[in-house]
Structure formats: structure tokens, C-alpha cells
Structure 1
Amino acid sequence: MGNKSSSKAPPPSPLFEEPWRKTTCWGTKQENLKYLKNFQPQHEEVKTIRVLLHGPVGAGKSSFISSVNNILQGRMTDEVLASYTHGEKSFTKKYKTYKIKKGGPGNFYPFVFNDIMGLEDEDGRGVRVEDIKLALKGNMKDDYKFNDRSPLSDGDSGYNFSPSISDKVHVLLCIYSANASEMKSPVLQKMKEVREAASDLGIPQVAILTHIDEACVETKKTLRNIYKSKYLKKKMDDFQSSVGIPLNRIFPLKNYSYETELDSDIDDLILYALRQIIDFGDDFTVNLCLQ
């Protein structure tokens, strides 16, 4: 009696047949670079659009700033320190404003980034929610050293009593990793508190999903699979459900990490997200000035 050949159904594809998000980001590097180079805040009282980054430890906050700097300088740079290890403790210790050079000495783009300590799941570790709330309102001075045991108070030298409109945060940017395990409840609770505080102030909120190449094999093959990846779509859906940031304000991308040269697909994703972030912040400052 002959052996019958057994046929197994092929495994389900990790990719959708069609992209789940339609995007025009590919091949737009030069267009977006030109837009950012010519950008000026709409309101004359606003000197810079301020973007505050927050998120769990190791999500890639400092790496995102480094990546933006690389692209806008047109080369790999080392001006923003970033930790490329997946440690449990925050690499960032101070409230630091990062300006990005534009052209000759003393010239900078009219938007800045503020990096803070990462959120951790234990009380007394990582940045305190109270500190983020003060930073949102512009009450935290540059180079303030975070104290994970007590928040900034109006009696500290790092407290800014009279924040200008440019000192205040204009966009809250949440950074989280596609390659991380599910966020623990204490971290999610802290993120919700920060989000509520930003919402009370009317500050627009955007999220960035990093480490997409490490999390998805198909995206590692080519970044252009990003909006076909079932895994990344689920990761974004889960984050939206947990934190509440709308899906159309969540942007998956890859930071520069091991690369030694600029990559057009990486640049397209980062610049596409950056342009949205800056525009959201600019719209907010116009409304703020009218109040």
C-alpha cells in the first residue's frame, strides 16, 4: 500500500495584502526637508515649537532626537547622547532642551525637543508624573536634574515662575517600543495621568512606535512593509486602546542605531512624522496666543 502524500496548509501571512494605512510618505524626503527648512511659527510671539518626549525606559526618546538631528544635518552625528542598551533604568537624568543647527553658527530650527527620564513601573523610580505636569506648563528650567524621590517644587532653583509662551510645551510626544513586552499597569497609569494633564491644557498628543525592524521580520526585510504588517497594526491598536491616543496620530518608524550612512526610507518615515508633529504644535500655539 503506497504512502499518501499529506499536504499542509501554508502558514498565514504576517502581512496584509494591501496596506492598512494609505500614506504618501515614501520618496518625500526632499519635499519635507524643504518644508522644515522654511518653517516659521505662525504667531510672532512664538520663537520655537516645543516638543516634550516621554515614555517607558528604553523606548528610544533620545535616539529619536539623534535621528532627527542626523537627517537635518545630512550626516551621521553624535550631538545627542542616547543609550542603545535595553536597560531598566533611565539614561536621561536632566531636563534638557535640544536645539538643532540650521546653516551657519548660531542658527537653529524654530523647534526644540525636551527629553526627560523614562517612566518606570515602581514608585520612587523614573520620572515623576508631577514633574511632567510642571514641564508641560513651562515651570521646569533647562538642565534641572530629576530627583526620582521628590518632584520639583516652587522652592527649587530649577523652578521657572514666569514661563513664556515658548517655554511651555506645544506637543506631547509619547515614544514606545514595538519590541517591548506589554507595558505594566503602573506605567500605563502614569501615561494616562500625563495624557489627562496635557488634555486639560489643550496640548496636542502624538505617539511614535519605535524598534519596528526588531519587532517584525517583514519590516526588517524592507521598511516599506510597515503598513502591511499585522503585528505592528495590532501593536498600535493595543496602544490606542490602552492609552487613548487616536490611531491617526500614531506613527511607526525606525530610529538610527547601527547604521553608518543615512537611509532614504528611514528618513522618509521620520520626516513625515516630524512634519505632522511640528504642524500640530504650531496650530496649538496660534490658539494659545488667542486666549
Structure 2
Amino acid sequence: MKSFKSWLNPKPWRTIPSDDSDSCLDGIKTFQLNKEGVEHIRIMLYGPTGAGKSSFINTVETIIRGRMTCQALPDAVSGTSFTTKYQTHTIKKDSSTIYPFVFVDLMGLEKDRKKGVCPEDVDLALKGHLRDGYEFNPQSPITTSDPCYNGSPTLSDKTHILVCVIPANTANILTDEHIEKVREIRCAARDLGIPQMAILTQIDEACPEVHSDLKNVYLSNIIKKRTEQLNVSVGIPLNFIFPVKNYHSEVCLNEDINALTLMALEHMINLGEDFVDKN
């Protein structure tokens, strides 16, 4: 039987920030977007069904609000997408304001070309043409006559940062069919100049040592390999791929979960702000 120790590097394969998660959280909570006509950074999440897109949104809100939340409805049964509508998720700052970053959780990608979200709909969402409430149709994209079609999107309506969400607990990361769809979406975002990154979810299920102690994430050979696989298969640079663990079975906040999530969120906000500044 393989020793757990053989799954760990003697040194971290990525430098871990010395700042504590409280400092990072304070920075995110006090972030202000100073761009006329733009109310928030729009973060779009996409990826295979069951990857943890909705759960990541809930994890971020849980950390920021300091209690368990479930705004984006997740599903414990994978196979088909539980998300069926285009919906913008905001996080309340107080009774009258929200934080200046929002999430869009797309219908999941599926192997079959005629199942899951249409890549054409993703392209239109990137450009800001979808309104909240649009019901995704795997067979065909939205038409200009649909009430949820936004014919005159503003910069606030457009996507500012595109995030690929991939589960780490499968050996091949992505099927060939998924890779084709991801590449198509990445090329559409590239043509619009939208920055891109990825989060690797379910890392605790991928490596026993990470399951035992989340602090082992950057010592884990398995998580390093999964990160490299994602880099090679879809072309996202290694320094733009962040391993995270969503809140799943926990009922209390966990500092290690928070630290990984906040590191990824901070980069999303920074890259989104860069895009807004350029436009």
C-alpha cells in the first residue's frame, strides 16, 4: 500500500502568502470600485456539471458574512446541471448596499453537444446580452426577440473576469468533449479581452493528505499534478489556477477553507478591476 508521505513534497510547490486570512478578508470587505458607470466586478463561473460553481458562491458569501449561507442552490447529485437560469448573485454589505463584486453561475457543461449550456449563450453572456431570469435551452441559444435578451449592454452588464471551475477528484480532470467546449469559451473570452483563471475544487476528495489536513494542499503531489493537467488541457497558466475547498459538510467556519477561497477571490477581483480600468 502506498504511503501517504509519498503523496507529499518536502517543500511547497507554491509560495503561501504570509498575510493571514483576516487581513485578506478585510481588504476584500473594504474594496471599492472607482469606475464611473460600473457598479461591480462581474465574475462569471463556468465548468462541468457538479464541479462546485454554486457551492463556491455560497462559500464566498459564508466567509464574508461569517455564517453559513445558501444563496446559490447547489445539488449533491451530479450528472445534469442543477442551475437552469442565468442569475446574478450579490452579497449584502448592509441593509441597503451590496459588495462591489457579483457572481454569475452558468448552467453546467456536459459531454453531449446538445446538453448543458450552449457555448453560444456563454458568448452572449460574456458580452452582456443575457438578463437575469433567462432560462437556458441546451438545444439552442437565446434569440433577440426573447424578453431576457439585452440588446444594449453596458460595461456593468458585461463579464469582467471568467473563471473555469474544475473538480480535482477525477483522474483525467476533463473529458475531450469538455475540453472542446472550454476551449471554445476561452477563445470567445480572449477575443473580448476578458481575463481568465480557474479554481480546482474538491481537492480534499482528490488527495488523502489534503483530506486529513487542508494545509497540505501545496505539498500535495496529486494536487500539483491536477493543476498541471488543467494547465496542459485547456491552456490556463499555472499561476492562474487556484486549488480551493468549498464548504460542504462543515457547519462552522474553517480558517483553512477561508484562506484558500480568499486567495482565489482576491485574484478574481484584481483581474476584473484591471479589465474594467482598460475599458
Other-structure match for 1:136: 126
Name the CA shift for 1:98/1:151 in 2 (closer, same or farther; >3 Å): same
Aligned-partner Cα distance in 2 for 1:92–1:53:
12
Aligned-partner Cα distance in 2 for 1:46–1:79:
24
Answer whether contact 1:65 1:113 (CA < 8 A) is retained. Answer: yes
Aligned-partner Cα distance in 2 for 1:18–1:139:
46
Q: CA deviation at 1:42?
A: 3.2
Structure 2 residue 12 is matched with structure 1 residue 49: no
Structure 2 residue 256 is matched with structure 1 residue 265: yes
SS of alignment partner, residue 13 of structure 1? helix
Other-structure match for 1:30: 22
Other-structure match for 1:64: 56
The AA in structure 2 aligned to 1:99 is: T
Aligned-partner Cα distance in 1 for 2:240–2:184:
19
Q: CA deviation at 1:157?
A: 1.4
Q: Map of 1:166-177 to 2, 5 A cutoff? A: 166-177=156-167
The AA in structure 2 aligned to 1:270 is: T
Task: Name which one, 1 or 2, has greater alpha-carbon Rg.
Answer: 1
Q: CA deviation at 1:10?
A: 7.3
Residues 151-198 of structure 1 show CA distances to partners (whole Å, capped at 9, x for unaligned) of 112121111001111000000011000013422111100000000010
Structure 2 residue 100 is matched with structure 1 residue 110: yes
Structure 1: unaligned runs, 5 residues or longer:
1-8
Answer whether contact 1:84 1:257 (CA < 8 A) is retained. Answer: no
Q: CA deviation at 1:78?
A: 2.5
Structure 2 residue 234 is matched with structure 1 residue 216: no
Aligned-partner Cα distance in 2 for 1:257–1:11:
24
Residues 227-262 of structure 1 show CA distances to partners (whole Å, capped at 9, x for unaligned) of 110011111101100000000000001000000000
Other-structure match for 2:72: 80
User: Which region of structure 1 is more displaced relative to structure 2, 60-69 or 12-21?
Assistant: 12-21
The correspondence for 2:142, drawn from 133, 146, 152, is 152
Answer whether contact 1:129 1:190 (CA < 8 A) is retained. Answer: yes
Answer whether contact 1:42 1:282 (CA < 8 A) is retained. Answer: no
Aligned-partner Cα distance in 2 for 1:10–1:259:
27
Residues 111-155 of structure 1 show CA distances to partners (whole Å, capped at 9, x for unaligned) of 100011100010210001000000000001111000111111212
Residues 208-233 of structure 1 show CA distances to partners (whole Å, capped at 9, x for unaligned) of 00000011000011111001100111
Structure 2 residue 225 is matched with structure 1 residue 234: yes
SS of alignment partner, residue 6 of structure 2? coil
Q: CA deviation at 1:44?
A: 2.2
Name the CA shift for 1:46/1:276 in 2 (closer, same or farther; >3 Å): same
SS of alignment partner, residue 257 of structure 1? coil
Name the CA shift for 1:10/1:50 in 2 (closer, same or farther; >3 Å): closer
The correspondence for 1:279, drawn from 266, 270, 273, is 270
Q: CA deviation at 1:80?
A: 2.3
Q: CA deviation at 1:77?
A: 1.6
Q: TM-score, normalised by structure 2?
A: 0.96
The AA in structure 1 aligned to 2:108 is: G
Structure 2 residue 98 is matched with structure 1 residue 92: no
Count of aligned residue pairs for this structure pair = 278
The correspondence for 2:9, drawn from 2, 9, 16, is 16
Structure 2: unaligned runs, 5 residues or longer:
none
The AA in structure 1 aligned to 2:110 is: E
Aligned-partner Cα distance in 2 for 1:91–1:11:
35
Tell me which stretches of 4 or more aligned residues in structure 1 moved more than 2 Å. Answer: 9-12
Q: CA deviation at 1:23?
A: 1.5
